[in-house]
Amino acid sequence: MMKYYCARFARLLILALVLSAIAGGFAAKAQEHAYTKLDEASCLTLILNEEEAYSQQVCKGYDGIALFISEGDIRISVSYRSQKSKDGFFSFTAFNTIGNVMEWRLKESDGLKVPYATILRWHVQINVDRHDQILVITKLEEDKACVAAFVDASANAGANEMARDIADHQLEAFRCGQDAPQWYGKSGPAKGLTRFY
C-alpha cells in the first residue's frame, strides 16, 4: 500500500512540475509594457499663446518617440513622431482632456523592446454633467502611427484589459491609412465625436 501511494505521489509531483513549466512558458510569452508620464517634467512647451488660449508641447515617449500635444478651445489633440511627419493629429470634437500616463505595448525584436502600440485615456465631455472615459489605442509602425481602435471605459467593465488584448492581438492586421478605426465592446455618445486631421 505504501508503494502505491508513493508511486501516485510521484506521478502527481511530475504532473505538477510539467504544468508549472507550461505556465511559466506562457508567462514568458506575455506581452511586456511600459508607462511614460505626460506631465511638466516630461514635456517641453513649444508654443504658448495665452491670447488665443492655444499651446503645443512635445513630450518624451518610450525609447525617444516624441508626442506632440496641442491644446486649444478646451480640446486636446495628439500626434506622434515629429511635426514634419505624416502622422495626423487626433482628437474629439467635444471638450476633452487626456490622462497623464501613457501605456506602451512592447515586443522583442533583435534583442530590443520595441513599442508597437499605445493606450491613452481620454476624458470627453458629453454634456455639462457627463464626462465619458475613452481608451484610444494607437498602432505604431516604423515610419508612422495611426489610431486603430477605441474602448469606451465608461460603458465596459474591464476596459483596460480589453484595450490591451486588442493592442496585442488585433492591431497586427490593421493597415494604417487603409483601415478605419474600430470601436470594441459597448459604446456611448463619444463614438460619434472622433476627429482626425
- For the chain, the distance separating the N- and C-terminal CA atoms, rounded to the nearest angstrom, is 77
Average of pLDDT values for 114-135?
97
Residue 143 pLDDT: 79
Question: Given the DSSP bridges, would you call strands 182-184 and 145-152 parallel, antiparallel or unpaired?
Answer: parallel
DSSP symbols for 45-112: EEEEETTTTEEEEEEE-GGG-EEEEEEETTEEEEEES-TTSSPPPEEESS-EEEEEEEEEEEEEETTE
**Cell numbers for 76:** 486636446
Residue 77 pLDDT: 95
Residue 87 pLDDT: 67
Cα 75 to Cα 85, 103, 195, distances in angstroms: 22, 21, 11
Residue 59 has pLDDT above 90, yes or no: yes
Average of pLDDT values for 19-32?
49
Average of pLDDT values for 75-84?
78
Distance CA 134, CA 186 (A): 11
How confident is the prediction for the chain on average, in pLDDT? 85
The closest of 71, 62, 140 to 101, measured between CA atoms, is 62
Higher pLDDT, 21 or 62: 62
Residue 25 pLDDT: 44
Residue 17 has pLDDT above 90, yes or no: no
**Cell numbers for 167:** 493592442
Share of the chain above pLDDT 90, in %: 69
